[in-house]
Amino acid sequence: MVTIDRVRDKDALLKFSTPKPVMTRESADSIVADILTKWQMETAEEALRVSTILADEFPDQEPPDGFWHDASSVAFRDFFVWGHNHNFGHGISRAGAMSSRHIEITAEALELGMLPARLDGKKVLDVGCWSGGDLLVLAGLGGQVTCVEEHPIAARAAHRLAALLGLDAPVIEASLYKDRPDWAGKFDYVYCSGVIYHVTDPLLFLRILFAYLKPGGEVFLETKAVAGEGSVCGYSGTMEKGWNWYAPNETALGRWMVDAGFEPSSIRIYRRFNDRLLAYGRKAETRSMRETAGFSRPGSWLEGVV
């Protein structure tokens, strides 16, 4: 007879793989840099025109470099700051609160094999695109990108940026939690950077991502984390600036992904230099949830085989 303690001991040994580089960081940086150069304007006049349109239509309500210190105490949907640094070309640029993180994270994901070097013909879901920095990289890799962004102004800003750059990429102003059973099995790849620790139900969030992927589809996550095995998951809530909810460590994040349906042997987790986590997983096949007790969508289609 196996005791509960022995089962727990066995589970405690479960570790998730650390990815190994598939290319040099210099090669990855070069890929991302070349992609973003393609989205620059051909002339200085056009660069100035586009940057002026975006500045007029979507002005910063707080300085981008003060976002994390001052404005983050305000409810997220109540104000707007441009998200990612954008270079329009010819020396004209716009600073964002996220600075160049979209460049650093996509390059690191390429280096570690968590983001394919080409996405040609792939349907890609970009979750939490903010002002569209990630969108430009994913589209530049050849992906047919659809974005979901719950912040209304940010969603419109990303849509406008894409349109001005001649990029056909729908940006849907909605929470990922909005029920979309018609998206089941629609996407080949899901990119989700800097989002999961901002949601109040990470397991439901991941189950939705799993449901939206085709069998064989892949997910990439980037998130705030807590350190080490001593604290599996941290909670901040509204008493800390930044609307941060659950910050996992490697074990918690990997187990969330397993319980959402991702193939355990496919899960790879990497701790970055800044103690944030990158994670990758694959949907091997359609699956029902392993356990529905306590699931926050009782009786939902998400409990069944998706």
Q: Could you tell me which residues come within 8 angstroms of residue 230 by beta carbon, excluding any fewer than 6 positions away?
A: none
Helical H runs in 73-224?
A: 101-111, 133-140, 152-164, 202-212
Q: Is the pTM of the predicted complex or chain greater than 0.95?
A: no
The per-residue pLDDT for 68 is 64
Per-residue pLDDT, 210: 98
Q: Please report the pLDDT score of residue 73 as a whole number.
A: 54
pLDDT at 295 over 70: yes
**Dist CA 64 CA 81 (whole Å):** 6
Cα angle at 171 between 89 and 300, to 5 degrees?
A: 150
Residue 38 or residue 5, greater confidence: 38
Q: For 46, left (φ over 0), alpha (ψ -120 to 50), or beta?
A: alpha
What domains sit in the chain, N to C, each tagged with a CATH number? 16-288 (3.40.50.150)
Q: Select from 179, 186, 177 the least CA-distant residue to 213.
A: 186
So what's the pLDDT on residue 13?
47
Answer for the pair 217, 106: CB distance below 8 angstroms, yes or no.
Answer: no
d(CA 167, CA 159): 9
Task: State how beta strands 171-173 and 187-193 pair.
Answer: unpaired
Dist. CA 12–CA 36, nearest whole Å: 43
- Structure token pair of residue 298: 């009782």
Q: What is the pLDDT of residues 51-67, one digit of tens each?
A: 999 999 999 988 887 76
User: Cα torsion at 220, 123, 134, 69 (round to 10°)?
Assistant: -60
Quick: pLDDT tens for 153-178. 999 999 999 999 999 999 999 999 99
Distance CA 141, CA 121 (A): 10
Q: Could you write out the DSSP letters of every residue in 34-82?
A: HHHHHTS-SSHHHHHHHHHHHHHHS--SS-GGGTTTTGGGS-GGG----
The whole-number pLDDT of residue 77 equals 72
Q: Tokens for 209? A: 């991502």
pLDDT at 230: 65
